[in-house]
Amino acid sequence: MPQVGDRSLLAKLDTQPRVRDFLVRAYGQGRTSHAYLFLGALGAGKLDAAWALSQALLCEEGGCGVCDSCVRVARHTHPDVHYYAPGSAVGYLIDQIRELLEDVSLAPIRGKRKVYIVDRAEKLRESSANALLKTLEEPPASVTFILLGTSTDTILPTIVSRCQCVPFRMLSSDEATAAVERATGTSAEKCRMAVAVAGSPARAVEFLKSAERQEARRVMVRAIDALSAADDADILQSAKELMAAVKAPLAEVKSTQQAILEQNEDYLTRGALKQLEDRNKRELSARERSGIMEVLASARSLLRDVLLMCEGASAAMLNADVPEVVERLAARTDTAGVLRALDAVSSAEAHIARNVTPQLAVEVMLLDIRKALLCP
C-alpha cells in the first residue's frame, strides 16, 4: 500500500491532525473518494489540504513529496491539477462549469490522474450545480473532485449528497502562529504578521519564503504611511507601484509555465496544449488575485494595529516590525477615523470580487483611507 512521505504536503498538515490522519489513512488503504467536500471557516486550511491531497494522488512514488510531480503540485504548476474559483461576484459562470466538464473527458497530460479543486462551492448557482451533478456522481476513474466550502447550509443539498464531507476546525491565531513558527524557525512576531496577511499557516509559510510577496506588503505599509503628505497624483502612483509589486512574483510562474509548454508541445495534441494554456491563464489569474488580497490584508492588519493603539488596548501588534508607522498613524487620527479606513479596505475587497479593475479599486481605497484618517 502507498505510504505518504514525511516531506509531502499531506504529512505536514499538522494544524488539522484529524483531517491529516483521515486523508493519510484513506490514501494508504487505496480508498480515497471520487469527490470530497472540505468544510470550514476561512483560514482553516481547506485549500492547503486540497493541494496536499492532490500531491499525494498524482505522485508516482506513493506520496513522496520530492519527485517531479510532487514539486510541480507544491508550486501549483502541475498541468493535471485544475483550480477553479467563482468567475463573478454572484458565483460561478455556467461557461466555467462547461469548460470543466469538457476538460474532465480529456486524458491527463503528465500523470495517470486529474484533480479538480472547486473553491467556494457555495457560489455554485443552481444552473451551474445541475450541470456538474452527474459528473460529480460518476466521474471518470482517473478524476477526483475536491470542493471547498464553509458549511453544508450554504451549499446545494444535491452537491453535498454526492461528496464525502470532511470538517475542518477553526484555528486560533496563536495556533496558526505556532504552526508557522515550527515550520520556518522564524520569530513569533513575524509569523503572526504572515498569518494575518496570507490567511492560513501553509500560505504564511510560503509568504515568508517569498521576498517579492513580503516587498508587496512593505509597499502597502509605505503607501498608507505616506498618505498624510500625498496629493492625488501621489496616490495614483502608489497604486501603480502596488500593482507592480503584486505582479512581481508572477514572473517566475510564467517562466515555469512557458518551460512546461515548450517541453510538451512536440507530443501533445492541439487540444491538450489548449487545455494546458487555459489552465495556465487560470493559475496566473488566481495568483494575481491572491496577491491583491494579500496587500489588502496588509492594509487591514496595519489599520487594526492603529485602532488598538487609539483604543489603548494591550493586544499584540501584528506589524511589530513597523511600530513607528503605527504610532504615526495613531497620532494623526481617532477611533472613528480608523473604522472608516477599515471600511474602505472592505469596500476594495468587495469591488475586486465584482471584477472592478484592481488598480482602480486600490486607488479609491487609498483616497478613502486618506480622507478617513483625517489626512489633509
Residue 2 has pLDDT above 70, yes or no: no
pLDDT at position 374, please? 79
Cα(32)–Cα(26) distance, integer angstroms = 5
Asked if 59 and 39 count as a contact pair (C-beta separation under 8 A), the reply is no
Question: Could you give the C-alpha distances from 88 to 150, 356, 362, in angstroms and in order?
Answer: 18, 10, 19
pLDDT confidence band for 273 (50 / 70 / 90): confident
Residue 175 has pLDDT above 80, yes or no: yes
Tell me: the pLDDT tens digits for 222-266?
A: 999 999 999 999 999 999 999 999 998 887 777 777 777 777 666
CB 153: neighbour CB atoms within 10 A? 10
pLDDT at position 1, please? 52
Range of lowest pLDDT (72-76, 301-305, 317-321) = 72-76
Residue 90 has pLDDT above 90, yes or no: no
Asked if 154 and 122 count as a contact pair (C-beta separation under 8 A), the reply is yes
pLDDT at position 94, please? 84
As a whole number, the mean pLDDT across the chain is 89
| Span 126-150, average pLDDT | 89
- What are the CB-based long-range contacts (under 8 Å, 24+) for 334-337? 334/310, 334/374, 335/307, 335/310, 335/311, 337/372, 337/373, 337/374
Q: Where are the domains of the chain?
A: 17-167, 210-372
pLDDT at position 93, please? 83
Instruction: Name the residue among 360, 367, 326 with its Cα closest to residue 344.
Output: 367
Q: Which of 89-93, 97-101, 330-334 shows the highest mean pLDDT? A: 330-334
| Span 288-297, average pLDDT | 91
pLDDT confidence band for 289 (50 / 70 / 90): confident
Backbone region of residue 219 per phi and psi (left: phi > 0; alpha: psi in -120 to 50; beta: other values) = alpha
pLDDT confidence band for 359 (50 / 70 / 90): very high
Given this structure, which CATH class describes domain 17-167?
A: alpha beta
pLDDT confidence band for 161 (50 / 70 / 90): very high
Alpha-helical (H) ranges within 150-231 are 157-160, 173-184, 188-198, 201-209, 211-225
pLDDT confidence band for 269 (50 / 70 / 90): low
pLDDT at position 368, please? 97
Which DSSP letter does residue 287 get? Answer: H
More confident residue, 213 or 249: 213
pLDDT at position 18, please? 94
pLDDT at position 38, please? 97
More confident residue, 370 or 105: 370
